Structure 1
Amino acid sequence: MSYEIFFQKFKNGEAGVIPFEEINAVLKNYGEIIEDDGDFEFVSKVGEICESAYLFGESRDAISGIVFLRPMQHELLPQIIFELLSIENTCFFGPGLDYLQARTDISSQLPESLLEGAESGLQIIDSAYSSWPLS
């Protein structure tokens, strides 16, 4: 069974678009984004943070988020997530919506079903280590 965590942008209840440069500005500090046949994978240079991480969206110019497959208890993963959450209207959530986190209150941008499904509602975090997985 696999475990996935998600980082995603929303706008007016729909998937939003993150400029590739904004995601790359954060991720380049920790690795690189590799393109293969139109798919984008993040490859860590700081150690094994997850089995794999894929950017998703319609194209390079329409990225809406990242899925981290089988994340590890790596000390930098919360820092990477927290830095990504500085991108406007983004959130971080886990499987089954057992948590839903953002750095600011973006509840007006989220799909109603996401808010309703989150066990603890939207949690506003103010540091990398108030987030998964080291909390």
Structure 2
Amino acid sequence: MVRYLIVTDRKGISSYQLAKELGITQKSSWFMGHRIRKACKNNDAILSGIIEMDETYIGGKEKNKHQHKKTQGTQGRSTKTKTPVVGMRSRDGMLVAAKMDKVNSVNIQTMIDNHTDTNVTLCTDEATIYKGIEGYKQLMVNHSGW
């Protein structure tokens, strides 16, 4: 919620207004706002150590749209009308996120090469896009194994 309020306000949002919107103290809203702005600031960071990586698709569900705005052939978990975003986060709190035109092994490998140290451990899920990654130690999590 805080990130949404910060990034959608055209001229920025003050800590006083943020505190009022969220029902928290001005001091807390100032602290959160600075943390979020700091995380958004440096997308050229070089991550090191253990890095967690995942992808998401941003955009509303087709069933929530008006009939005339729905796209044909997008039932279920379709990603045709959604924007893919890939994020990497190191355990020390550094974050790199990028919008991608297409999420595939080549684009993922490029992102990893550009934003990580050579001596990192990647933690990913078992998606096929992560199986082609070369040159890094990799740990995979099976989300459906529970």
The structure with higher relative contact order (CA 8 Å, sep 6+) is: 1
| Bigger Rg, which one | 2
Indicate the structure with greater helix content.
2
Normalization by structure 1: what TM-score? 0.28
Indicate the structure with greater strand content.
1
Normalization by structure 2: what TM-score? 0.27
